[in-house]
Homo-oligomer: A and B are copies of this chain.
Amino acid sequence: MYRIGELATACEVTADTLRFYEKNGLFSPSSRSDKGYRLYTEEDARHLKFILRAKAMGFSLTEIRELLNIEASRSDWACADVKGMVEAKAAELQRKIDEMTRLRDSLQELADACCGGPESAIHCSILDTLETK
């Protein structure tokens, strides 16, 4: 049995984060000590690692809650459901990547047009563009 600080340290998060996850219905200790301390089992630890892996994959806590529901009763779901979630997330990420790429290109174009020299910015093409494009 781990106490909250031990599990937190082991998983490189803070105890506050674990309490936050608990309050938000992602993850609770299997039991409490007689004085009210949270006690986590190895199984709880695996549970937390699942959450942290999903988070590292870019899932929001809300989405992780869905994944946990599926994981908790796998037989009620189809592979198609799970794959659908992952592909939707990948597509969402792709849209953001595209958007940011366009932005980066615009910025690079802006930067390329500026001489970048040490003289006064009175004639700076970047400011001119922002002012009047």
Contacts and interface: CB of A to CB of B under 8 A. Distances in A.
Contact of A81 (B76, B115, B121): B121
A31 interface: no
A22 to B, nearest CB: 20
Chain A binding surface SS class: helix
A33 interface: no
A90 B94 CA distance: 18
A12 interface: no
A53 interface: yes
A65 B89 CA distance: 34
Given A82-B114, A114-B82, A117-B79, A58 B127 contact: no
A32 interface: no
A124 B128 CA distance: 56
A46 B100 contact: no
A108 B87 CA distance: 7
Given A86-B107, A93-B107, A100-B96, A121 B75 contact: yes
A106 B55 CA distance: 12
